[in-house]
Structure 1
Amino acid sequence: MSTHEPTRTNDARTHEVADPILEIRDAEVVFEMDRGVSRVLDNVSIDIERGEVLGIVGESGSGKSMLASAMLDAVVDPGILSGEITFHPPDGEPVDVLAQDQEGIRELRWEDISMVFQGAMSSFNPTMKVGGHFEETLKAHEYDVEAGMERARELLADLYLEPDRVLDSFAHELSGGMQQRALIALSLVLEPDVLVMDEPTAALDLLMQRSILALLEELKAKYDLTLVFITHDLPLIAELADRLAVMYAFELVEVADSDSILSRAVHPYTRSLLNATPNLDAPLSEMRPIEGSAPDPVNVPEGCSYHPRCPLADEECVSQDPGFRPTHTEDHLAACFHWEEASEAIPFNIEREVNDE
Structure 2
Amino acid sequence: MDDDTRDESDVVFEMRNLEVTFGTNRGESKVVRDVDLDIYRNETLGIVGESGSGKSMLSSTLLNAVVEPGQTSGEVTYYPPDDREPISVLDLSEKELKKFRWEEVAMVFQGAMSSFNPVKRVRGHFEETLEDHNRDIDAGMERARGILEDLYLDPDRVLGSYPYELSGGMKQRALIALSLVLEPEVLVMDEPTAALDLLMQRSIVSLLRDLKEEYDLTIIFITHDLPLLTKLANRLVVMYAFDVVEIGETEEILYDAAHPYTRMLLQATPDLNVPVDEMRSVEGNKPDPVIRIPGCSYHPRCPMADESCKREEPPMATRSPTHETACFYHDDVDEEMPLRSDGEGGQ
User: Fold-level match, TM-score > 0.5?
Assistant: yes
Asked whether 1:95 is paired with 2:87, we answer yes
**Structure 1 residues 15-164: aligned runs within 5 Å:** 19-91=10-82, 92-164=84-156
CA contact (8 A) 1:55 1:238 kept: no
Q: Which moved more, 1:52-61 or 1:201-210?
A: 201-210
- Report the secondary structure of 1:27's partner residue: strand
Aligned-pair identity (%): 59
CA contact (8 A) 2:274 2:342 kept: no
CA contact (8 A) 1:17 1:47 kept: no
**Structure 1 residues 317-356: aligned runs within 5 Å:** 317-327=309-319, 329-352=320-343
Alpha-carbon separation, structure 1, partners of 2:73 and 2:300: 28
Residues 152-211 of structure 1 show CA distances to partners (whole Å, capped at 9, x for unaligned) of: 000000000000100001111111111110000000000000000000011111111111
CA contact (8 A) 2:10 2:40 kept: yes
209, 228, 231: which one aligns with 1:239: 231
Q: Which moved more, 1:263-272 or 1:298-307?
A: 298-307
TM-score computed with the length of structure 2 as normaliser: 0.95
**Could you tell me which residue of structure 2 aligns to residue 8 of structure 1?**
none
Asked whether 1:215 is paired with 2:207, we answer yes
Structure 1 281/33 Cα, relative in aligned 2: closer, same or farther at 3 Å?
same
Q: Which runs of 5+ in 2 are unaligned?
A: 1-5
> CA RMSD of the aligned region, Å?
1.5
Residues 295-335 of structure 1 show CA distances to partners (whole Å, capped at 9, x for unaligned) of: 000012211110000011111111111110101x1221000
The offset of 1:215, in angstroms, is: 0.5
Residues 96-151 of structure 1 show CA distances to partners (whole Å, capped at 9, x for unaligned) of: 10111111111110110000001211111111111111011111111111100001
Runs of 4 or more off by more than 3 Å in structure 1? 15-18, 283-286
CA contact (8 A) 1:16 1:46 kept: no
Alpha-carbon separation, structure 2, partners of 1:241 and 1:200: 15
Asked whether 1:181 is paired with 2:179, we answer no
CA contact (8 A) 2:118 2:162 kept: yes
Alpha-carbon separation, structure 1, partners of 2:337 and 2:228: 21
The one-letter code of the counterpart of 1:331 is T
The offset of 1:353, in angstroms, is: 5.1
Q: Which runs of 5+ in 1 are unaligned?
A: 1-14
**Structure 1 residues 253-332: aligned runs within 5 Å:** 253-327=245-319, 329-332=320-323
- Report the secondary structure of 1:178's partner residue: helix
Residues 251-294 of structure 1 show CA distances to partners (whole Å, capped at 9, x for unaligned) of: 10000000010000010000000111223433555421111111
Alpha-carbon separation, structure 1, partners of 2:276 and 2:143: 45
Alpha-carbon separation, structure 1, partners of 2:311 and 2:9: 35
The one-letter code of the counterpart of 1:217 is R
